Structure 1
């Protein structure tokens, strides 16, 4: 699949493949050999959920992908909420994240422990240490600015963009997603994606988030058109290191 339009115009996109888990590895492999086969490994980030029943052969597959150049990033612990204890979390779960936003309703201390455990899992299983952490559903929860500075990861991604924790800077970047597993999600996602694509520029690259089952969901044709309409994959560091960004609050 080509990422260049006939006119040669492209739009830079930070491409990530979410929810890399033991039971999604076959779908992840499909993406890497089909619709994302043209993406250079260095420009594609695989978001790994560590706290599941990973078998030795599955860990070997992850190591092989990392050795091929794909970047592995931390993505929660089990990608499933322990509890829902606030109205905001209940609304978020109903309309946005279902049971995925495991950061919400956890205390700051619980979040720090979860993120540190995520980071340590990569070390314990002989992976290169990751630099990026992405909370499930991009929901940071009660993770204050001071706590973020002491996390083992350098970068933290949220709905609005990337936090460079070493530099104390925030980079706002538009986001597009296609996880329409129900028809009622289609109109809102199409509107969201269209608006975010319009504000993407060479300095504000679009973040293109893909989930393992998106090729089976209601926006699969939309996603395929996006991938064929001038998306130019780019590593997120290329964007963060070349843009001037405001100091984080």
Structure 2
């Protein structure tokens, strides 16, 4: 079974690290989905980094999947319970975890429009922190997306089915980073040895600290021991359109 690999938080603000991760997976022959934040974030936009845009277009031409990863990675007004989950699970970036239908429609449409302006047609959506309200998922159905993801499942929206396949990541920029690195390696090794499917989520911030950088290299070497896949590969969907089959 495959290791599904994704690079999160791809944006002008993370350009150097995102492209370094892309180079790392490419050198190992690893298939991956690049999760793009298309809106304004930390004072920058994709238009501020034409090199990144060109590299992403080249990656798409090579067969790497470009998927939508929220709009601007900033939270909206949250309930107390969801605000706590936002801080713990998404480090304050869970903009889709408490949205109503109209707001979700608007942000998704903005994201799709911006990606299509650069020539990219996203089939999938991974919400920041893997947290999305029921209304946000309904909006994804309406928009014709092929799939969305949570921490434990991949939801095939075209065929109304769920694939249980957990995701592991190092949780950079949190007090749990050290534990996350150890846990990620242990779980990944176990699944690879046993031939069980697993998702490996990479973040640009994984490369900021020497410890998590070394752990990232180790996890990629482990992942490369098994067949790897993008989300589109997992669902066997054709890249290039946001239209239901």
Preserved contact between residue 65 and residue 232 of structure 2 (Cα < 8 Å): no
Tell me the residue number matched to 1:173. 165
Query: TM-score scaled by structure 1?
Result: 0.79
Number of equivalenced pairs? 227
149-158 vs 170-179, which deviates more? 149-158
Rg: which structure is higher? 1
Residue 236 of structure 1: which of 213, 225, 231 is its match?
A: 231
Alpha-carbon deviation of 1:140? 1.1
Preserved contact between residue 119 and residue 153 of structure 1 (Cα < 8 Å): no
1:45 is the counterpart of 2:29: no
The structure richer in helix per residue is 2
Map 1:105-120 onto structure 2 (within 5 A): 105-120=98-113
Map 1:1-249 onto structure 2 (within 5 A): 12-33=2-23, 35-40=24-29, 43-52=31-40, 53-55=45-47, 57=50, 58-83=52-77, 85-127=78-120, 129-143=121-135, 146-187=138-179, 190-191=182-183, 194-195=186-187, 198=190, 202=195, 204-217=196-209, 218-229=211-222, 230-241=225-236
11-20 vs 145-154, which deviates more? 145-154
Please give the alpha-carbon distance, in whole angstroms, between the structure 1 residues aligned to 2:28 and 2:122: 20
Distance 1:234 1:60, change over 3 A: closer
Alpha-carbon deviation of 1:72? 0.6
Alpha-carbon deviation of 1:210? 0.2
Gaps of 5+ in 1: 1-10, 242-249
Gaps of 5+ in 2: 237-245
3-state DSSP of counterpart to 1:156: strand
Alpha-carbon deviation of 1:189? 6.0
Cα distance per residue 1:126-185 (max 9 Å; x no partner): 22x111111111111233765443223111111122111111111110211013324444
Alpha-carbon deviation of 1:231? 4.5
Please give the alpha-carbon distance, in whole angstroms, between the structure 2 residues aligned to 1:70 and 1:183: 32
67-76 vs 210-219, which deviates more? 210-219
Preserved contact between residue 171 and residue 240 of structure 1 (Cα < 8 Å): no
Cα distance per residue 1:49-105 (max 9 Å; x no partner): 11122227243332222223221100100011133x312222113322122101123
Report the aligned-residue RMSD.
2.7
Please give the alpha-carbon distance, in whole angstroms, between the structure 2 residues aligned to 1:182 and 1:71: 28
Query: TM-score scaled by structure 2?
Result: 0.80
